[in-house]
Homo-oligomer: A and B are copies of this chain.
């Protein structure tokens, strides 16, 4: 029961299937209120309804061997054990605790889902690509004018480039009604500073650090103009435990010869003792069958393993009694391509294979699966 974070997977797809793209709803494990933040908003209320339904089934949550994953490849539904490490604690739907809070005094599913939605005070957006924002934007009219009496200051946060994109291209009365006009503040957009801890208003024990990363190049550009993205470090200031959640990112060699995500690894090693790092959610969009020039700013199994191995070596250099990297790495943003086998299962197999080859034997790999809550 020492888990500090409770992560409900609203969406973990990297497209091209729509409806459940990346969105993680996170709260302190076993908290006694409905407060939560989302990292990314590719899916929203539609998936909250689905998670609520996943909770239904009596007082007890689903047993592990009853948990099913929507796959649609070899079989339409597969066992959760193929996707999630057996030692990682999960529950179907929301955790029992927050589900019970959402149910109190509410009779129907849409109202329970609404209560959970209103508990989300902040969205930390990694970048403004549609698969990371579409759900939160379509939900946004619900941030005002409801009959629920739950406090209701929704804030979208992110680095400058993300907030500017939302202002200019989304809330512009063309793609979406301008709900952020000055003076009414129905939706707040708030830029936060790179590498600095931002104290969450929704969960005041948390400091949230954004790091800028590269996510490939713009297509329609003669120069190599970068698309940018963000990695978030969520730090619980009471316990010191930390969780890393990544937006899309690429393995890019910087002019100095180091790969860019290594800067974040160095920050981690300097600031987070190894036993305080609870887990990392990171994209691995494609299987190894995709050629490297077709990654379009995403990771592949071998590159992700290189990064994890580098993190291990940094910790090893810094901490004398450090043995090996021991944590959960949870994969998100897999592309749902045409295939015979679920690409998520293929990617997990490749990650375990490459990890074994480089001796990264104490990292536990799982896939983020929509409709489940992970305890870390």
In the complex, A114→B339 CA distance in Å?
11
Query: Assuming the A-B contacts A76-B53, A338-B146, A338-B148, are A173 and B18 also in contact, with contact meaning beta carbons closer than 8 angstroms in the complex?
Result: no
- A266 on interface, CB distance cutoff 8 Å: no
Which of the candidate stretches A42-50, A188-196, A268-276, A316-324 sits at the interface with the other chain? A42-50
Contacts of A139 in B (CB 8 A): 15-18
Mostly helix, strand, loop or mixed at chain A's interface? loop
- A185 on interface, CB distance cutoff 8 Å: no
Contact A218 B129 (CB under 8 A): no
Contacts of A225 in B (CB 8 A): 173
Q: Which of B15, B145, B169, B296 contacts A174 (CB 8 A)?
A: B169
In the complex, A47→B221 CA distance in Å?
34
Contacts of A60 in B (CB 8 A): none
Contacts of A19 in B (CB 8 A): 18-20, 43, 46-47, 135
Contact A73 B138 (CB under 8 A): no
Which of the candidate stretches A61-69, A176-184, A234-242, A250-258 sits at the interface with the other chain? A176-184
In the complex, A213→B111 CA distance in Å?
34
In the complex, A140→B131 CA distance in Å?
11
Contact B175 A165 (CB under 8 A): yes
Residue of B nearest to A133 (CB): B175
Q: Please state the number of chain copies in the assembly.
A: 2
Complex interface residues of chain A between 110 and 130 (CB less than 8 A to chain B) = 110-111, 113-114, 128-130
Contact B218 A178 (CB under 8 A): yes
Q: Which of B138, B173, B227 contacts A15 (CB 8 A)?
A: B138
Contacts of A107 in B (CB 8 A): 340
Interface size on A, residues (CB 8 A): 68
In the complex, A174→B46 CA distance in Å?
25
Contacts of A169 in B (CB 8 A): 168-170, 172, 174-175
Contacts of A59 in B (CB 8 A): none
Contact B338 A179 (CB under 8 A): no
- A74 on interface, CB distance cutoff 8 Å: yes
Q: Which of B110, B113, B130 contacts A137 (CB 8 A)?
A: B130
In the complex, A283→B141 CA distance in Å?
18
A137, A170, A177, most chain B CB atoms within 10 A: A177
- A142 on interface, CB distance cutoff 8 Å: yes
| 3 A-B pairs with the lowest CB-CB distances in the bound complex, closest first | A19-B46, A173-B218, A72-B109
Interface residues of A (CB under 8 A from B): 15-21, 43-47, 49, 53, 56, 72-74, 76, 107-111, 113-114, 128-131, 134-135, 137-142, 145-148, 165, 168-170, 172-179, 181, 218-221, 225, 227, 294, 296, 336-340
- Provide 16 A-B residue pairs closer than 8 Å at the C-beta atoms, listed in order of the A residue: A15-B139, A16-B142, A17-B138, A18-B45, A21-B138, A72-B108, A72-B109, A73-B108, A74-B108, A107-B340, A134-B134, A134-B138, A175-B175, A178-B218, A178-B219, A181-B220
